[in-house]
Structure 1
């Protein structure tokens, strides 16, 4: 069988399947229409009270939807602002922490270099004591700075959430 003959055979089979499907669809449509009740075309009149109640219900639903949509948009904005604030704060905290680490590592290398250059034990003890005092002061200052930044980030992040909760409570 050649390619042209195969194509012709396939096309004929496809056309036959389409015709069969269309015939079945027409039969199903006719059966559905026959099963549906017939209306005489007289308009159905909805009582005014029912129409008014339906209109009020639709209006109430619209108002509730608008309130919910507005609340969702406010919440989304609040979350985005809070996330942005927290991200900036964490970046600032990480920058200061990395700078502190760099300073401490450099101080340790300087200390070990100076320690290797000492000529006797008393110089090494004096250098160690001096280095420990200096590092204690530096570490205290770094811890204080990091603590201050952490408190600032926590406050700035929580403040919009707190204000939103207070606003919601006042509405209620």
Structure 2
């Protein structure tokens, strides 16, 4: 790979990572709002499930317009990882801002309400996980905004390494 190709790869990945972050931030917002609106939780899950397809479509655009229709597996994999990385950085910033300034304990209170419902109490006792769930909720309430943000960043980067393999495999093309 020449230095010019590397610069082009990073430029496309940064732009597409910014677009990916908008998709992921939308899914995050739908998930938070979906705590009281169940339909939005479904929208959030479908959006999250669609992110690999979104990255694949952006990789096809990079292949067809930036690489003149040629793309090796390695270059496609690097693009996918970088796109998830750049998108994850912006999502991490949004997550930090949300938990530091906007949440004010909303998410934990929603989880508490869910776990205090009679159905949840009965199911937790049936499976013998009531103590573990309460401990998990206590641990979640002690997390700082940066902890949530770093957890999101590591999850997105790991998903980039995972999803990058099939994306690059299916989008490679030689002329």
TM-score, normalized by the shorter chain, greater than 0.5:
no
Larger of the two Rg values belongs to structure: 1
